[in-house]
């Protein structure tokens, strides 16, 4: 597939068609080491790498990102009390309507997916899809075997019609638990722990589907998902 250079830049979030045209005319865009000054030039997009203001970019029809969400950030374009996770990604992505694939509370850390692909977002947020999420948590009190058993059997949360139960529970320490769920109810993990008489002190999302947060991705860092990681995510 071919697109005009100005359209390529617009699709990648560099501004309006007029802004992208001016960017090309200013001599700030390079392809294969050569300055391109013709906005209407048609260029194949498959495998395309281009340079804007000295920074290299790869053409991507859609964005699929993973982030190690740090504490103290809201998963919102209009945060109320804390900084937004969208402040951690390039501004060009915001022009592409990048969205969080599900949300984490401001005090919850761990694996966060972001995309501008509506079908992808629906696939991993729809309750009907039953995508598993694995959380690791520290609790206020020591965990009892009865609490673990009840979580796996199911608890009734306030204002919810159906019981919520863990897919699995693994005790990590006396007051630490790893729990997998396949729903996305509001504050679900915290509410489930409250329902069995305990309280979450810290919460970390370790995995989504078959995708585990890489150990080398530090809090606040993000990167593109690889094809292999997208396959792991699909399970």
Structural domains of the chain, count: 3
Residues 114 and 143 in one domain: no
Q: What is the mean pLDDT of each run of 10 residues along the chain (235 residues)?
A: 96 97 96 95 96 96 98 94 96 97 94 97 88 96 95 90 92 96 89 95 96 96 96 81
Are residue 112 and residue 143 in the same domain, yes or no?
Answer: no
Q: Can you give the pLDDT at residue 235? A: 63
Q: Which residue in the list 105, 107, 117, 182 is annotated as catalytic? A: 105
pTM: 0.93
Q: Contact at 8 Å (CB) between 132 and 182?
A: yes
Active site residue 105: yes
**Domain CATH number, residue 177:** 3.30.70.1560
Q: CA–CA separation, 197 vs 184, rounded Å? A: 21
Residue 68 CA to residue 164 CA, distance in Å, equals 27
What is the structure's pLDDT at 128? 83
User: Does one domain contain both 89 and 156?
Assistant: no
117 and 223 co-located in one domain: yes
Where does residue 107 rank: exposed (0-12), middle (13-18), buried (19+ CB within 10 A)? middle
DSSP 164: B
Same domain for 140 and 189, yes or no, is yes
| Domain C-terminal end among 12, 39, 58 | 58
pLDDT at residue number 116: 97
Measured CA angle at 88 (ends 86, 90), to 5 deg: 85
Domain of 32, CATH number, reads 3.10.290.10
Query: CATH number, domain at 113?
Result: 3.30.70.580
Does one domain contain both 14 and 68? Answer: no
Range of 30's domain?
A: 2-58
pLDDT of res. 130: 87
Q: Are residues 162 and 195 in the same domain?
A: yes
Q: Given this model, what pLDDT does residue 162 score?
A: 86
Domain match, 89 and 137 both? no
> 177 and 200: one domain?
yes
Q: Same domain, yes or no, for 53 and 68?
A: no
Tokens of 67: 């982030």
């Amino acid at each position: 597939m071919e697109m005009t250079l100005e359209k390529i830049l617009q699709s990648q979030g560099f501004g309006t068609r007029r802004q992208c045209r001016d960017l090309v005319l200013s001599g700030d865009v390079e392809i294969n080491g050569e300055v391109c000054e013709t906005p209407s030039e048609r260029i194949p997009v498959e495998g395309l790498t281009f340079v804007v203001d000295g920074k290299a970019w790869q053409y991507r029809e859609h964005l699929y990102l993973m982030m190690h969400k740090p504490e103290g950030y809201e998963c919102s374009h209009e945060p109320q009390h804390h900084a937004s996770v969208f402040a951690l990604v390039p501004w060009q992505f915001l022009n592409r309507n990048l969205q969080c694939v599900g949300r984490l509370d401001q005090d919850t850390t761990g694996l966060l997916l972001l995309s501008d692909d509506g079908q992808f977002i629906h696939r991993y947020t729809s309750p009907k899809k039953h995508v598993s999420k694995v959380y690791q948590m520290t609790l206020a009190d020591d965990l009892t075997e009865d609490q673990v058993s009840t979580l796996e059997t199911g608890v009734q949360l306030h204002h919810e019609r159906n019981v919520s139960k863990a897919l699995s529970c693994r005790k990590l320490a006396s007051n630490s638990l790893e729990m997998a769920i396949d729903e996305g109810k509001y504050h679900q993990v915290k509410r489930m722990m409250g329902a069995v008489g305990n309280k979450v002190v810290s919460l970390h999302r370790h995995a989504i589907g078959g995708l585990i947060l890489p150990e080398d991705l530090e809090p606040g860092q993000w990167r593109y998902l690889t094809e292999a990681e997208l396959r792991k995510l699909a399970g």
